[in-house]
Amino acid sequence: GNSVTQMEGPVTLSEEAFLTINCTYTATGYPSLFWYVQYPGEGLQLLLKATKADDKGSNKGFEATYRKETTSFHLEKGSVQVSDSAVYFCALSVQAAGNKLTFGGGTRVLVKP
């Protein structure tokens, strides 16, 4: 089956610190990979995505590279801001599974001034 494992939070950082959230996956077939962000009281927003091996998704200073050899899609940001405080979800979809999203458990990130 398909599954996503991401590091448990909460992750607490100071402003301007480097952020890494680990995400690994197992998939039957060739997955597309996503990071979604959820700010308090809001829905999920697509942060970035990658659809094939070695693709790098990037947005708002966040990056993640699709690593097929290590089945990983780690999220990174070089200098976080207080406004980056949110829950981050790693997810995959596989066409053979009807393109349904399989989510990781989410990682809460708290950035302190």
**Residue 109 engages other proteins in binding (rule: CB under 8 A):** no
Cβ–Cβ under 8 Å, residues 28 and 97:
yes
Q: Which of 3, 30, 56, 110 binds other proteins (CB under 8 A)?
A: 30
Binds other proteins by CB under 8 A, chosen from 41, 69, 70, 113 = 41
Our finding on whether 93 is near other proteins (CB under 8 A) is yes
Which DSSP helix (H) or strand (E) runs through 45?
Answer: strand 44-50
CA distance 14 to 71: 29
Q: Write out the two tokens for 72.
A: 């990983």
Task: Report yes or no: 12 and 76 within 8 Å, Cβ to Cβ.
Answer: no
Q: Which of 66, 84, 106, 109 binds other proteins (CB under 8 A)?
A: 106
| 45 belongs to the binding site for other proteins (CB under 8 A) | yes
85: contact with other proteins by CB under 8 A:
no
